[in-house]
Amino acid sequence: MGGEQCAIEGGGLCTSWLASSWRKMEKGLNDWVSKSFIGRYFKLEARRSCFTRELRAGTATFLTMAYIITVNATILSDSGGTCSLADCTTPANQTATPDCMFKPNAGYQNCLSKTKSDLIVATVLSAMIGSIAMGILANLPLALAPAMGPNVYLAYNMVGFHGSGSISYQTALAIVLVEGCAFFVISAIGLRAKLAKLIPRPVRLACAVGIGLFIAFVGLQVHQGVGLVGPDSSTLVTITACARTNPETGECLGGKLRSPTFWLGLVGFLITSFGLMKEIKGSMIYGILFVTLISWFRGTSVTYFPNTPLGDTNYKYFKKVVDFHQIKSTAGAIGFSKFNTSEVWVSLATLFYVDVLSITGTTQTMAEIGGFANDQGGFEGEYLAYLVDAGSTVVGSTLGVSTVATYVESSAGLREGGQTGLTAIIVGFYFFISLFFIPLFSSVPPWAIGPSLVMVGVMMMKVVNDINWANMKEAMPAFVTILLMPLTYSISNGIVGGIGLYMALNLYDSLLGSIRWLIKMRSRVVKEQNQVSATAAVDPTVESV
């Protein structure tokens, strides 16, 4: 029956013999799969779907979220990963200084390249495992991968650029592991959705907007993106996109807006924007692909492989095209030796809070879009879905990546008609194939990634409409949350500031309400005392007593 429904979709489009034969083959395949153990297990007929529809849905989902393979690895590698001062190249009889991790250094850059390849594999494996588990256990067409937001928080707030933060990469992974275990426990006992509702609504909404602005700000910078924004001694930040920059300060040495890589990245951004305007599937991939292909040509001003020792090494690895890269540095790089510090507990609470909000909300939203949700907001497979994404975070932390979550891009597959876990399994299969093309994924330049980060920020801005800006008690905490995240370069600062202001504003109402209640109770007590006195004055028995 599911095969018949799916076969109808192609009817009438072409009357040629080839098209007719193809429809018959498709119908036969769908009927066979629907009646097989696979079809019964995934409830293809019960959910009025078929194999080819699930295949199209899985393909659409993968195309829209495949950008995360290189984007996530690029962001996390900015933390420096397990690279340290010991990896720096120094002249003979000299000692490396900490600034070698922030200046061009062949040894440190080579370590970063290997770390990025490790993180690409870790990203692919965590996405593959999470998506397949979601399909098999929860039977839902939802794909998983390392989430945008938590990865930025880990790289730039917890560990800091090239390890400049207060927490090491190893300790950060330990935080993700503990947070994932805590997430699993609250999912198992059914507290997850209830905890999400405890957070003030304006702060919940503002978090998504603030994180979006933070991600876009990262995509505009020179090390992580297109290089449009850079430091300035008087205004802190300014427009750069310079032909050359000071390796120590990042300030312009040449004219502004003369960077060829910036203009190439801008073209990629326009390609992505146009594709999204026309609702073309995989638009973010096309923008990244265009910029990357141009950057792969050597001997140009935008090449990713300059004529340097590091460029030669990267180009040699790139030419392998197909290669299975084994994770060497990030897998199992979990350290608890410096866990008991105030910075660690603040980071753990922030990461946990962000995940409770974003991951739970995304999963529920996808269920509503797919038509799985009931009148109470629940949906079939909800309990197992929560356990899967929490468990995937635990697995991801052992591989070296940040929180793994259900992706909003799953909506692309839902629009294609995906209704069962087969969609998620197909996405996982595509990620598996990606494992064998690590040389290509590891050679994507930052100016190809930057436009996609800006676009992610654009997409996360839409919830700003849901904030009640007319109510200042909600508007002010929301605005502070949004403002502090990019300006202080910290997601946790925005969350703490927003919640703190919300509590302060509500504290006034609470105190005023308490005072009014006390006055009301006092008036009631006085009134009752007056009644008793009046009764005593009239009743002689009361007087005798």
Half-sphere exposure of 28 (CA within 13 A, CB side): 6
In this predicted model, what pLDDT tens digit does every residue of 419-461 receive, in sequence order? 899 999 999 999 999 999 988 888 888 898 888 888 888 888 8
pTM over 0.85: no
**Predicted pLDDT at 447:** 92
Q: What is the pLDDT of residue 10?
A: 45
Residue of 36 and 366 predicted with greater confidence: 36
The answer to whether residue 504 scores a pLDDT higher than 50 is yes
Task: Give the pLDDT confidence of 67-121 residue by residue, as tens digits.
Answer: 889 889 989 999 999 998 888 888 777 777 888 888 888 889 889 999 999 999 9
Nearest-angstrom CA–CA distance, 300 and 314: 16
Among 11-20, 92-101, 272-281, 429-438, whose mean pLDDT is lowest?
A: 11-20
CA dist 496 and 499 (Å) reads 5
Position 6 scores a pLDDT of 66
Percent of the chain with pLDDT over 70: 91
CA-angle at 166, arms to 452 and 390, nearest 5°: 55
Residue 476 clears pLDDT 80, i.e. is over it? yes
Q: What is the mean pLDDT of the chain?
A: 84
> What pLDDT was estimated at residue 534?
67
Identity of the amino acid at 424: A
Residue % of the chain over a pLDDT of 90: 31
- Supply the pLDDT for residue 22: 76
Q: What is the pLDDT of residue 255?
A: 79
From residue 306, alpha-carbon distances to 115, 311, 403 in Å are 20, 5, 34
State yes or no: pLDDT of 359 exceeds 90. Answer: no
**Predicted local distance difference test score (pLDDT) of residue 273:** 93
Residue 370 clears pLDDT 80, i.e. is over it: no
pLDDT at 256 over 60: yes
Q: How many CA atoms lie within 13 A of 406 on its CB side?
A: 33
Q: Give the mean pLDDT of 376-397.
A: 86
Residue 27: pLDDT band with limits 50, 70, 90: confident
| DSSP per-residue codes, 106-165 | HHHHHHHHHHHHHHHHHHHHHHHHHHHHIIIII-----EEEPTTHHHIIIIIII-GGG-S
Q: Is the pLDDT of residue 544 over 60?
A: no
Overall average pLDDT of the 122-132 stretch = 95
Q: Annotate 504-531 with three-state secondary structure.
A: HHHHHHHHHHHHHHHHHHHHHHHHHHHH
pLDDT score, position 196: 64
| Alpha-carbon gap, residue 369 to 388, rounded angstroms | 20
Q: Are 77 and 442 in contact (CB under 8 A)?
A: no
Give the strand pairing for 236-239 and 229-232. Answer: antiparallel
**Angstrom distance (rounded) from CA 78 to CA 86:** 17
Q: Are 155 and 446 in contact (CB under 8 A)?
A: no
Task: Locate the domains of the chain by residue range.
Answer: 36-88+99-225+259-462
pLDDT at 377: 61
| Rounded Cα gap, residues 108 and 115, in angstroms | 10
Is 400 a residue whose pLDDT tops 80? yes
| Total Cβ atoms within 10 A of residue 404 | 32
Residue 14, pLDDT > 60, answer: no
